[in-house]
Amino acid sequence: MRAGKSLSVSFADIRRLKAVVQDRNAPQKHVWRAEIVLLTADGVGTNEIMRRTAKSKTCVWRWQERFIEEGFDGLLRDKTRPSRIKPLSAEAAERVVALTFGDPPGETTHWTGALMAKAVGLSVSSVQRIWRAHGLQPHRMRQFKLSNDPRFVDKLRDVVGLYVDPPAHAIVLSVDEKSQIQALDRTQPGLPLKKGRAGTMTHDYERHGTTTLFAAMNVLDGKVIGRNMQRHRHQEFIRFLNVIEKQVPVGKTIHAIVDNYAAHKHPNVRRWLERHPRWTFHFTPTSASWLNAVEGFFATLTKRRLKRGVFRSVADLQAAINRFLEEHNQQSQPFTWTADPDEIIAAVRRGHQALDSIH
């Protein structure tokens, strides 16, 4: 040891040091530090410690002194060193943030990390750190559509009221159609999922026609009545209404929630409603398809059955949809509306105010 230094090790420290040396999962830097202290406590000289631990004299002295000053815990901690890279100045971060809120140069539509790094003379990682610190994500864009329906509030409360408190002796159906479902076949067979590799599917495909799924979801039990048809005109819509009419028990009034698609308001549809007085249509506000509960079923169908499906004909596609409908109805659950209509109305008003103030 250095002149004027003395090291004393208690029995408790010896047990802890030996435990580190014998622990096969301990970091090696902790092991050789503990060995230096143990050898020193046994009276081994500095040169011999250097030979056994393969460390330099200054390294041995450093950890002997660290143990004297801080004890056992000091061996497990590395002293922090100043970074070789100077921290970014506040002015640089402010410049990046200010540029991000503006338009990028040239004909590009948004800032990228590389483009910003070139503009301000920083690294891409520095730009990304600044963006993360300020909650900025210029590469992302969220889509939206605010309803301009003058009767938005009345229609919203009407539909939500049917979800939350349906009328007695009535059935509430969320009715809509998913049109242009394509029967897509891949040009080459893909590879299955395996460890270390995702399943594969060719980016190109062959079209074998389309179908339209008409669906009506009962919000009380979540079951869906569905029919595949070639087109989605008012004629097909009336045929689907007749299908529902036959399946709903006599004596039940029917409240159907539909959107503002032209086929739903066709004169022939209105005459059909006059001949079936137990039916009542409730129209969602314009540009508010998210209010129709059956849209959630369509999203599930697309994600779980259609997106990765391989269909060699329209008949194959329709059969797959029918099987999915059957499985869904076997394990369906009631639809539960949880959003507060007052919060939705307030959010829509804030959206209009924000757009009006900017544009």
Q: In what order do the strands lie in the sheet with 224-229?
A: 224-229, 205-218, 170-186, 253-258, 279-283
| Nearest CA-CA partner of 232 in 222, 242, 240 | 240
202-219 per-position pLDDT tens digit: 999 999 999 999 999 999
> Helices marked H in 82-123 — which ranges?
90-100, 113-120
How confident is the prediction for the chain on average, in pLDDT? 91
Q: Please, are residues 215 and 300 in contact by the beta-carbon 8 Å criterion? A: no
Query: DSSP letters of 217-273?
Result: EETTT--EEEEEES--SHHHHHHHHHHHHHHSPTT-EEEEEE---GGGG-HHHHHHH
The predicted structure's pLDDT at residue 280: 94
Identify the sign of the CA torsion 290, 294, 298, 301. positive
Superfamily of 152-191+201-353 according to CATH: Ribonuclease H-like superfamily/Ribonuclease H (3.30.420.10)
Buried b (16+ CB within 10 A) or exposed e, 237-275: bbebbeebeeebeeeeebbbbbbebebbebeebeebbee
169-202 per-position pLDDT tens digit: 899 999 999 999 999 999 998 899 999 999 999 9
pLDDT interval class at 281 (50, 70, 90) = very high
| Percentage of the residues of the chain whose pLDDT score is greater than 90 | 73
The answer on pLDDT for 85 being more than 90 is: no
Three-state DSSP class for 170?
strand
Three-state DSSP class for 211?
strand
pLDDT interval class at 168 (50, 70, 90) = confident
The predicted structure's pLDDT at residue 83: 73
Return d(Cα 13, Cα 5) in angstroms, integer: 19
The predicted structure's pLDDT at residue 80: 76
Domains of the chain, by residue range, sit at: 11-75, 90-133, 152-191+201-353
Q: What are the distances in angstroms from CA 308 to CA 177, 211, 277, 299, 302?
A: 21, 17, 43, 14, 9
Location of structure tokens 């314009």: 286
pLDDT interval class at 106 (50, 70, 90) = confident
The answer on pLDDT for 359 being more than 80 is: no
pLDDT interval class at 9 (50, 70, 90) = confident
